[in-house]
Amino acid sequence: MTAHNKIRVRFAPSPTGYLHIGNARTAFFNWLFARQQNGQFILRIEDTDTKRSTKAFEQSLLEDLKWLGLDWDEGPDNKGHFGPYRQSERFDLYKDYADRLIAQGRAYPCYCTHERLEEVRQRQIKAGWPPKYDGRCRMLSKDDRPKHIKPVLRFQVSENAVVFEDKIHKKLSFDGAVFGDFIIVGSDDIATYNFAVVIDDALMGITNVIRGEDHLSNTPRQILIFKALGFPVPEYAHMSLIFGPDKTPLSKRHGAASINDLRESGFLPEAVVNHLCHLGFSPGKELLSIDETIQSFSLQRLSRSPAIFDIERLKTFNRAYIEKADTERLLNLVEPYCAEGVSREWLRIAVEAVKGEATNLKEIPDILLPFLKQPVLEKEAKQILDEPSAREILLILAEKIEREADLTADTYTRIITAIKQKTGASGRRLLMPIRVALTGKMKGLELEKVFVLLGKKEVVARAKKHLQGV
C-alpha cells in the first residue's frame, strides 16, 4: 500500500522511558511541519527493545504528547491505513524484506563470534584504521556455514560514497568503505533499528524525516537500504542537539530532562511548547500563539548550533502564560493542592488576584497560604513590628477598617491615605508594618489585593493580634 501524494512525517519514540525534552522538540517540529504543509503527522512506536520497552512508558508518551497539544493523524490508537504502528507487530514485514535482500545478493548470514569481531576491531584500531566488519562471511559457501551458530544478517555495502542533501546541513557525503557491512537482523531474528526504520518509513509513505543530528551516522546506511529495495528516499533534516546552559547534554541537573518533570513542576503546556519553539529556531518574537508558530516555522531556518534549554527562560515564559491563562482553568489545576474547606468562589477571586505573581502552578497555593492560615513571622519581619511607628499604624488601620462595611480596592486607597495623613509615615515605613502584620512576609502580593482576599474581619483580627503583642 502506498501513501497519498502529500507531505507525511513521523515521530517514532521508543517506550523505554519518559518523553525527553529533545524528543518532544523532535515531535513538535515534525507536527509543525505537517500542519504548515497541510500534511500528515504519524506516530509510530519503536518497541523492538523488548527488555526495556513497557506499555506504561508507551501510555505516558501518548499522554505527554496530548498534554503538549500534539495530535496525530495516524498512530497506535487504530488511526490510519498504514499500520500496524508498533514495530513489535511488524516482524513479518521485516522478514519479507530481509528475504528479498538475500535473494538479490545484497544481504548474507554472518557467523562470526563476538570474540572474533572484537579481535578484528582491536587489530584495525592498532593499525590506525576505522573499525568495521572485514567481510569474512561474504563469500562463505553453504557447506562452510557452522551448524551450531545462529547467524546475524549483514547488508552488503559497496565502497561508493553516499551523498545526500540535508535541509539543515546542506550537501553531505559519507564514504561507504568506512562503515562496512552492517547488521540488519540480529541472531534473535529481530530487525535492527536501521533496517526496521527503512521498511516502516517506506511502507508508511514518509516523505520527510526530521530528527536529531545524533542520527546523521545512521542516514547513509538507511539510504543504501532504501535504494537496494527500490524505495524512494525521503528528504532529511537533522536538527542540532539540545544542551543545558553549561554546554553539556541536557539532564535533570539542568532543572528537567523530561516532559513529565516539567508537568510535575507546575509548567503549563503552552509555555513548554513556546520554549521548544525557541530551541534551534528563532521565530522572531518571545511569546507566540500556536497559529503564529505554525506560520513562522521553516526547516531552512533551523540552526546548526546546539540549542540551549534554559529553565530560567522557561520560567519567564511560564509566568507570562499563567498570567494570561483563563482563571477557571487555573482554578481547576490548583484546587487539588489547596486546603480543604476553602470555598470555590473565594479561591476563584484569589487565583485571579495572584496569577500574575506565580512562576509555576505549584507556587499559587504557596502564595495563598498566608490567607488560609495564620502567617508565621519571618525573622526580619518581626523587627519591622518592633519599630515604634508600627504600633500607631496598625492601631489606626484596625480603627478605620472596623468602620467600613466591606473591603474593596477603593477602601484600601482611602484607608492608606488616612493613615499617611495621621502618622506622617509614607512609603516603606507606612506599608511594611501592614504587610508584615497581615502576611508575615516582607514581600508578596500587592497590599490592595491582600486586603480584599483577607476581608474586613481577618484584617482587623491580624492587626489587633500584633497590637496585643502576640
Q: Which residues are catalytic?
A: 252
Closest CA to 180 of 265, 108, 275: 108
DSSP symbol at 100? H
H or E element at residue 185: strand 182-185
Contact at 8 Å (CB) between 205 and 73?
no
Q: What residues form DSSP beta bridges with 211?
A: 238
Distances (CA, A) of 300 to 143, 238, 376, 434: 54, 11, 56, 57
How far is 269 from 248, CA to CA, in rounded Å?
25
Cα–Cα distance for residue pair 350/338, rounded to 1 Å: 11
Spatial distance between the Cα atoms of 281 and 277, rounded to a whole number of angstroms: 6
The neighbour count for residue 77, using CB atoms within 10 Å, is 10
With a CB cutoff of 8 Å and minimum separation 6, the contacts of 312 are none
Q: Give the C-alpha separation, 94 to 425, whole Å.
A: 82
Beta bridge partners of 154: 108, 183
Alpha helices in 37-186 (DSSP H): 55-67, 91-104, 114-126, 176-179
